[in-house]
Structure 1
């Protein structure tokens, strides 16, 4: 002001300052709208936000081979064709693939293979504001391996326990006592390394699905006969037991024996399924909503070891014509078994929404 008054008469200076103040006031009004203008805009934006989807059952698969329908089926295709054919995909930031939902509250997605991949997707989906998981049930679904002493190709298995195969200490066999286990659990991880799933829910799953007619194939039948075990030679069936979650796709009787040792060490049921995701996904669900409504459903497409005349390396990388058959039938069996439980929960939602009802 002092510099302006040196060159402009006092009256002119006052006029100039008044004009500048008016200009500043107009500019301030333009850059900062009154509160009453902003509030209706915010209300309009909120009104346009899509309603949350109440999820009754969420089905998680780990991979799909190609498209969701119309080609060779992976873990997701039969689920998709039953519940979401034509549904609009819902993109979720942080998830590997979109989520699909139907009008009955059944939602599902491909989460990705392995513990980190699948649990990251599950976390992103659970935290997304589009979905209401407060009353949801979960079916963690996919293919798996089985020890020939406990299971067979084409069987479908509900988990009673989930055990983390990787979380602990390991060393080379030659660096310990001959024949002794080469695994020791890490202390302090008791609540992360094993989960007992709701026994009442598992019992319901078996009640609803144990008599499901299962698919089989000639190639799977012939392959089973390479094994002397009575369980391995069985036709496909629906069973229960411990599912061992490990990023390591292990092979051979030694590793299978170690998996059984870990299951018993943790007080779980017999190890019957080897898979790569369920314990990690369940931990994510537990931290958000608890584990009383989690189911793990796996179909066996391979044995975790070779037959007596086959080396472990040959079993790991089989020659043409030496692989187990039955993959196409097993992925269909998984959906045939699992959909019985999903449909029952949704149809009887008035009974199930408050929690697992008493088994009758």
Structure 2
């Protein structure tokens, strides 16, 4: 090797060492500057601004928790996250639909500003609610998330007469194929069971809350003659959520949803609410948990009923859609937005204010034994 070649090699090695040192320094600096997050509050939409106008799911959290500090949220629908440095609570509005949810959660978990390995995730949003389960304005902590979007579907005009509906598992050919196909396969993830101890703890912490009730809510639920659960005042309950990007409506679709939840949970589940995003949330967090970036046992899903998913007796599904549109939105919209914050914030504050208790020990779980 010539002297000139040795000098060029030396310069390249020195440059490589400098770049490596800079990368190491940057990595250490990023770790030193990480923003501590005890709880992530996950919502799906905001209507206008984050404060001062008609609230979406995000605004009440921003104004009341509060979440005053803005943080950029690159790669997400909303573009901005909100943070409370005293509680160390981060709020993110992901955008509607499972795709927006999955991409936003992945961007968040991979963001070098945060270490989320001990962080709790609380999805708090509005949903359609089954009148066989509860009333609009009511809240449900979900023990399970069921995928309502992945299926074979036959047009209603071609459903065989001996089928209950036109939906079959992608892995099967009839609505009630037995045994139930594998939940986790090449066809996707059909059911997620959340940490039962944590869900039970959140429910017990909030079950006695008196939720908002209004003359308008009373008038709406009075129309559901023959549905005793729908006619009760709003309450905090336990019930499973069905995640589907299609905004379905009607008595027959409601019967399908009840059957679908029962099918995939082999009779253990109870259909309560229907929304879009949970399957994206659970898929993203489950995959990131496999990489050790989050703890899947620290996830909660809360949904509050903004509308019934089927009409009252004597009214068609199309008439229900028309009436909801003419009233400017979901019949129980504002009470359900308020209930999502009222119920969810109790759990979020408890976790954040008693971090010494919950950082290393998930509430509701039995204490770890010596050596574990």
TM-score, scaled relative to structure 1 = 0.85
For the pair 1:300 / 2:305, whether they are aligned, the reply is: yes
Counterpart for residue 54 of structure 2: 72
Measured in 1, the distance between the counterparts of 2:68 and 2:209 equals: 27
Residue 259 of structure 1 is matched in structure 2 by: 257
1:215 is displaced (CA, Å) by 1.3
Conserved? CA contact 1:263–1:270, under 8 Å:
yes
Residues 67, 84 of structure 2: 8 Å contact kept: no
Larger mean Cα displacement after TM superposition, 182-191 or 65-74: 182-191
Counterpart mapping for 1:26-175 below 5 A: 34-35=14-15, 45=26, 49=30, 51-94=33-76, 96-103=78-85, 104-175=87-158
Shift of 1:189: 5.8
Q: Return the alpha-carbon distance in structure 1 between the equivalents of residues 19 and 248 of structure 2.
A: 60
- Deviation, 1:359, is 6.4
Q: Tell me if the contact between 1:54 and 1:132 (Cα under 8 Å) persists in the aligned partners.
A: yes
- Distance between the aligned counterparts of 1:302 and 1:283, measured in 2? 26
Distance (Å, rounded) in 1 between the aligned partners of 2:28 and 2:191: 44
Asked whether 1:345 is paired with 2:355, we answer no
User: Is the Cα contact below 8 Å between 1:219 and 1:324 reproduced in 2?
Assistant: no
Query: Partners of 1:270 and 1:102 in 2: how far apart?
Result: 35
Q: TM-score, normalised by structure 2?
A: 0.82
Q: Please provide the CA RMSD for this pair.
A: 2.7
Partner of 1:4: none
Shift of 1:117: 1.4
Q: Shift in Å at residue 47 of structure 1?
A: 6.3
Instruction: Name which of structure 1's ranges 44-53 and 148-157 shifts more when overlaid on structure 2.
Output: 44-53
Stretches of structure 1 lacking an aligned partner (at least 5 in a row): 1-20
SS in 1 for 2:101: helix
1:9 matched residue in structure 2: none
- 1:312 corresponds to: 317
Q: Structure 2: state its 5+ residue gaps.
A: 172-180, 290-294, 367-372
- Separation in 2, partners of 1:108, 1:257: 35
Shift of 1:286: 1.2
Aligned residues: 338
SS of equivalent residue, structure 2 residue 326 = coil
Structure 1 or 2, whichever has the larger Rg, is 1
